[in-house]
Homo-oligomer: A and B are copies of this chain.
Amino acid sequence: MKFNNINVRISPSAKIGKGVKIGDNTVIYDNVEIGDNSIVCNDCVIGEPLNEYYFNSDYINSVTIIGRGALIRSHSIIYSGCTIGDSFSSGHRITVREYTKIGNDCRLGTLDDLQGYLEIGNNCWLHSNVHIGQKSHIGNFVFIYPYVVFTNDPTPPSDVCIGPTVDDFSQIAVHSLLLPGVHIGKHCLVGAGTVVTKDIASYKLVLGNPGKVIKDVRDIKDRVTGESHYPWPYRFSRGMPWEECGFDNWNKE
C-alpha cells in the first residue's frame, strides 16, 4: 500500500542498494547512499541540504550514508552529511541534522530531534520526542526516554558548545535534562524528571532537581522479589546481542 512509486524523486547521484523500498512522496537528494534491503517509508526526505544550499549556487550536498536493513518511518528528515549504521529503525517525523553519526542497531522514536554534529554508538534506543544538542557523545546500549533534553550552552546565549557524554549501558529516564558538558558514567540510571548538573560516576542512581546521587543502582531492590534489576543487561535482552547467549557469555566474546 505504501510503495506505489507515486511522486517519488531520487537524485541521479544517489546510490540505492538492492531490495530497497522507497515510499510515495519521498525525496532522496544528491549523494545519498542507502544500503541493501532498507525501507524508507512515505513522505521522507533523505539527504536534506544544508543552509548554504539556499544561497550558494555552487553548493554540493555532502555524502549521506544509511546502512543496510534500515526501516525509516514516514515523514522523517535526515540531513546531508549523516552516517547511520546497519539495522537502523525509526518512528515517524524524526529530524536528524547534519553530520550526525549513529552506529549499528540503533532506534529513534517519533519526533526525535537530533541537532547534528553528535555521535551515538551501537544499540542505542531513543524513545519518542528526545532532543539531543550538538556535540553530545552517547556510548553503546544507552536508552533515552521521552522528552529528555541534552543541552550544550553553559551561559546562554554564547558561542560555547559543550555537549554531555553518556557512557555505555546508562538509562536516561523521561523528562530529564543533562546540563552542558556533564559526564555520566556506565550503567547509571537517571530517574524521571531529573536535572543532571554535574558529573555522575558509573553505576549511580540520580534523582531530583538538581539531581542528587541516591545510591548504587545495584542496591535498588525489587519490592516483590528483593532482587536488583541492575545492571540491566542481566535482566533485559530483547533485541540485544546477548539475547541468545546471555550477557556474561556475550561479554566473554
Cβ of A7 and Cβ of B6 under 8 Å apart?
A: yes
Q: Is the CB of A159 within 8 A of B110?
A: no
Interface residue stretch chosen among A98-106, A167-175, A241-249: A167-175
Contact (A174, B151) CB under 8 Å given A1-B11, A39-B54: yes
Interface size on A, residues (CB 8 A): 69
Give CA–CA (A232, B159) in the complex, Å: 11
Tell me if A's interface is mostly helix, strand, loop or mixed: loop
A-B residue pairs, 4 tightest by C-beta: A155-B229, A193-B195, A157-B236, A149-B174
Residues in A lying within 8 Å of B, measured CB to CB: 1-2, 4, 6-7, 9, 11, 24-25, 27, 29-30, 39, 42-43, 45, 48-49, 51, 53-54, 61, 71, 74-75, 77, 91-93, 95, 110-111, 113, 115, 125, 128-129, 131, 143, 145-147, 149, 151, 155-159, 171, 173-175, 177, 179, 189, 192-193, 195, 208-209, 220, 222, 229-230, 232, 235-236, 238
Can you list 10 residue pairs at the A/B interface with Cβ under 8 Å? A2-B53, A43-B43, A93-B95, A113-B146, A131-B147, A143-B157, A147-B147, A155-B230, A158-B229, A158-B232
